[in-house]
Amino acid sequence: MSGSGFVPSDYPAACSYSDGRNRSKGNPYYYYGTESYTEFDGDGQLTSAVNYVTNESEKIIYQSEGHGESSLSDTITDLMEKNSYTLSEVNLLMSESVPDDCDLLLMNAPTADLTEDEVEMLGDYLDGGGKVMILLGDAGAEDLPVLEGLLKEYGISGAEGYIADPTRCYQNNYYYIFPVLSVSGDMAAGISSEMVLVGNAHGLNLTEPERDTISSSSFMTTSDQAYALTETSQEQGSYTLGAVAVESTADESEDAENEETDSSDESDDAEESRLTVISAASLIDSQITDTFTTLENTTLFMNVVTENFDGVQNLSIEAKSLGTEYNTMRYTGVLGLAAVFGVPAAVLIGGFVIWFRRRKR
């Protein structure tokens, strides 16, 4: 869309420009020559404004730093702001504990392992009903042994190597996978096509948690024809790409005082800790989410984040791209050949048959 003339200053607040300039500030009107719009965010801005007015509490998400973590993309931070989430940073090495106002601790693609003191800090935070979300990048759980020890405590262990899935891959690139989603309720909100793409993913396996109070489940897996590949081995099987471990915890002093109370009363006082692990930080990589805008990566991620908060729904709407959108086909072998050669051949043959019949009349 392009044009020239005078435009009110409040109009561009819902639009982004290819030249990156911000038109929403300054004089009430401005003159411009030729502009091209890259996306439209009217629905998202309106929903965000309504959510801001009606939302009773603001959730604070702390991003860990100090381990080579990756920054969140502008797309993700924008969606979080629309859902009234406040983003802050914390370096656990410089802190005595996880901040008291932390509603969710997010660790995005760490490349260096945690220290024993940091893991103990995370364990104490979870024991008190905390919420932790970890996205693994190039360094899988098996490459971060101290962190992996914490995950194993909650029944999640890493599989060695990268995951390839020949049956659910993008255009014969076995390392770019369309996972099988197992989501329901609020986790499934806004997900219709179940088309989510991840690349260079590590695998996870669900194991027996160290405590009976912990229950773990997967919400994103490969097919059963996937492989965990290293330089020296390949193991076929179904691998978890996203898992959640939940534990109901109660204060020990309260338990001592209420030893003889009904179990229903005890459950009322219990707090629920939640550990979420996604084995592919590429789920929210801008190279995927901004290129394939028809995918539901961002919707799934925001739903997973929102599941950590009681009484909160994912109301963020991503801006609609006005640029070129790329289709994502899982299998391009025989189907691709049929589309490229089969359809034109069928049209030519059909046309020849009709022409030949009419010619004989």
* pLDDT 10s digits, 6-57: 333 333 344 444 444 444 434 444 445 545 545 444 444 445 444 444 455 6
- Other beta carbons within 10 Å of 180: 18
Residue of 231, 271, 225 lying closest to 247 (CA atoms): 271
Q: Is 50 exposed, middle or buried (0-12, 13-18, 19+ CB in 10 A)?
A: exposed
What are the pLDDT tens digits along the chain (361 aa)?
444 333 333 333 444 444 444 444 344 444 455 455 454 444 444 454 444 444 556 899 999 999 999 999 999 999 999 999 999 999 999 999 999 999 999 999 999 999 999 999 999 999 999 999 999 999 999 999 999 999 999 999 999 999 999 999 999 999 999 999 999 998 999 999 999 999 999 999 999 999 999 999 999 999 999 999 999 999 999 999 999 999 987 654 445 455 545 544 544 556 899 999 999 999 999 999 999 989 999 999 999 999 999 877 765 554 544 555 555 555 555 555 555 666 777 788 878 778 777 776 6
Residue-wise pLDDT for 100-142, tens only, equals 999 999 999 999 999 999 999 999 999 999 999 999 999 999 9
The domain locations on the chain are: 5-40, 44-321
Q: Does 44-321 carry CATH code 3.40.50?
A: yes
Token output for 322: 């006005």
Per-state percent for the chain, helix, strand, coil, to nearest 5: 30, 25, 40
Separation of alpha carbons 245 and 16, rounded Å: 39
**What is the number of alpha carbons within 13 Å of residue 329 lying toward its C-beta?**
10
d(CA 94, CA 67): 12
Place of tokens 């030249």: 19
